Amino acid sequence: MNKFMEANKKIEKAVVSGYKTIENGAVSAYKAVEKGVVGQYKKVEDAFVESFLTPDDQSKTDAQTNEKE
C-alpha cells in the first residue's frame, strides 16, 4: 500500500505543477493583453484631449487637470 500512496503523491505533484504552469501562462497572457489595451486607450485619450479639449495657449497636461476638476 505504501508504493500506491507514493505513486499517488507523484501523480498529484505532476498534476498540480501542470495546472500551475497553465495558470501562470493564462495570467501572464491576460496581463499582456490588458497592458496593450490600456496603452492604446491612453493614446486615443491623449489624442482626443489634445485635439478637442486643449486651447491653443494651454498644455495637454493642464487641460487634463482642468477636465478632472
Give, in order, the Cα–Cα distances in Å from 51 to each of 5, 16, 19, 66, 67. 68, 52, 48, 15, 14
pTM > 0.85: yes or no: no
Cα angle for residues 16, 1, 19 (degrees, 5° grid): 5
Please state, for a pLDDT cut of 70, what percent of the chain lies above it.
80
Q: What is the pLDDT of residues 14-33, one digit of tens each?
A: 999 999 999 999 999 999 99
Number of H helices and E strands in the chain, helices first, is 2, 0
